[in-house]
């Protein structure tokens, strides 16, 4: 990636952002800053702040050795960090993604904000340990910020290991994931009985079941939430194709359907960070812009739902 590519991305981003001024952070709300500032939420178990927009890597980073795809992803990563990004989410389940991330990070500049989040996805204690050590080697990180148990797989075994690792300082945060509304009942049981830093599940404007129990439960239990599939795997864009963005979206500094969907997700008070995936530079510019400016309030969120359901 060339230095002026970053500048171009930056300029595109600033144009995307327009004249909007951002709130300083989401806690306390409503403060006005003099310049755009990345919106962040607190990780309850530590008080650390995390930008509300992260980066998913399922499918998009599974490029193997395809050089054209990799050089494009190098620019996606650089643009992510240039626009205040921190959390990258991956998994051994995502083919070559962890290897691609690690190799691209070697040449990514200004990446000190990296918050490296992966998962363990296997059966058995020793197999889990081997997998997490291999992920660490592939990413090129000494210690992950977050390791999550992927889709509840053999969760009791891995949770024991992760608790030990956290105690020994081998990982900073531990969590568990599901998606697409699967296993919510079992996940709720785990959240009630176990002490976790993070929980990850699906929540978007078309799939709001997490509002009923998971989001309030995570808030009650003091757990940070990572939201996967904020675009329902990209399907939400099909629903609004060719439809103009309503003018009233300017009231919360929204300039695209991508920002509409992401601002809907991160404006829920129990959401810590959403992790949209993209393979395209102009989409990461768009997505990162959702992490700046005003967010919709409760009344506006209802209007967004009504409008989305009417198009």
Out of 9, 23, 25, 58, name the contact with ligand NAP by CB under 6 A: 58
Out of 9, 23, 25, 57, name the contact with ligand NAP by CB under 6 A: 57
Calculate the CA 207 to chain-centre distance: 17
Would you give the binding string for ligand NAP spanning residues 187-206, x where CB under 6 A is met?
-------------x------
Residues numbered 276-295 forming contacts with ligand NAP, rule: CB under 6 A: 276-280, 283, 286-287
Of 279, 275, 300, 298, the C-alpha closest to 288 is 275
Residue closer to ligand NAP, measured from CB, 25 or 114: 114
Out of 9, 23, 25, 60, name the contact with ligand NAP by CB under 6 A: 60
Partnered with residue 175 across adjacent β-strands are: 148, 198
Span interacting with ligand NAP, options 27-35, 55-63, 162-170, 208-216, rule CB under 6 A? 55-63
Out of 232, 245, 305, 307, name the contact with ligand NAP by CB under 6 A: 232
Out of 89, 98, 145, 197, name the contact with ligand NAP by CB under 6 A: 89
Strands laid side by side in the 171-177 sheet = 55-56, 87-89, 115-120, 144-149, 171-177, 198-202, 224-228, 273-274
Instruction: State the pairing for strand pair 144-149/115-120.
Output: parallel
Q: State yes or no: residue 150 binds ligand NAP (CB under 6 A).
A: yes
CB of 202 to ligand NAP, least distance (A): 7
CB of 118 to ligand NAP, least distance (A): 10
CB of 84 to ligand NAP, least distance (A): 16
Q: State yes or no: residue 229 binds ligand NAP (CB under 6 A).
A: yes
Q: CA-CA distance, 192 to 199, in Å (whole number)?
A: 12
Out of 72, 108, 179, 207, name the contact with ligand NAP by CB under 6 A: 179
Concatenate the DSSP letters of all residues of 241-269 into one string: TTPPPPGGGGGGT--SHHHHHHHHHHTST
Of 244, 262, 260, the C-alpha closest to 311 is 244
Residues numbered 91-110 forming contacts with ligand NAP, rule: CB under 6 A: none
Give 249's Cβ-side CA count (13 Å radius): 20
Concatenate the DSSP letters of all residues of 159-219 into one string: HHHHHHHHHTTSEEEEEEE--TTTTHHHHHHHHHHS--SEEEEE-BTTB-GGGTTHHHHHH
Span interacting with ligand NAP, options 123-131, 138-146, 228-236, 247-255, rule CB under 6 A? 228-236
3-state secondary structure of 70: helix
Residue closer to ligand NAP, measured from CB, 270 or 273: 273
Q: Which residues bind ligand NAP (CB under 6 A)?
A: 56-58, 60, 89, 150-151, 177-179, 200, 228-234, 237, 258, 275-280, 283, 286-287
């Amino acid at each position: 990636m060339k230095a002026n590519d970053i500048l171009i991305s930056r300029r595109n981003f600033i144009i995307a952002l327009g004249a909007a001024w951002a709130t300083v952070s989401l806690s306390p709300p409503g403060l006005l800053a003099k310049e755009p500032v990345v919106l962040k939420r607190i990780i309850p178990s530590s008080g650390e702040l995390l930008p509300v927009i992260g980066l998913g890597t399922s499918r998009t980073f599974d490029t193997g050795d395809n050089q054209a795809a990799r050089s494009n992803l190098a620019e996606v990563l650089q643009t992510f960090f240039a626009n205040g990004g921190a959390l990258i989410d991956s998994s051994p389940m995502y083919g070559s993604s962890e290897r691609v991330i690690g190799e691209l990070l070697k040449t990514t500049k200004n990446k000190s904000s990296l918050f490296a989040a992966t998962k363990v996805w296997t059966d058995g204690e020793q197999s889990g340990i081997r997998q997490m050590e291999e992920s660490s080697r592939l990413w090129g990180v000494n210690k992950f910020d977050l390791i999550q148990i992927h889709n509840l797989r053999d969760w009791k075994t891995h949770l024991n290991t992760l608790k030990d690792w956290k105690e020994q300082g081998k990982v900073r945060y531990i969590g568990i994931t599901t998606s697409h509304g699967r296993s919510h009942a079992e996940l709720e049981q785990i959240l009630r009985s176990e002490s976790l830093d993070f929980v990850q599940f699906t929540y978007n404007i078309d799939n709001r079941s997490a509002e009923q129990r998971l989001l309030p439960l995570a808030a009650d239990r003091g757990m940070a939430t990572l939201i996967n599939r904020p675009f329902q795997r990209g399907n939400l864009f099909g629903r609004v194709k060719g439809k103009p963005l309503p003018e009233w979206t300017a009231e919360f500094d929204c300039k695209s359907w991508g920002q509409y969907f992401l601002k809907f997700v991160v404006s829920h008070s129990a959401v810590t960070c959403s992790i949209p995936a993209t393979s395209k530079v102009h989409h990461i510019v768009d997505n990162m812009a959702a992490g700046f400016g005003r967010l919709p309030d409760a009344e506006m969120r209802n209007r967004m739902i009504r409008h989305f359901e009417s198009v």
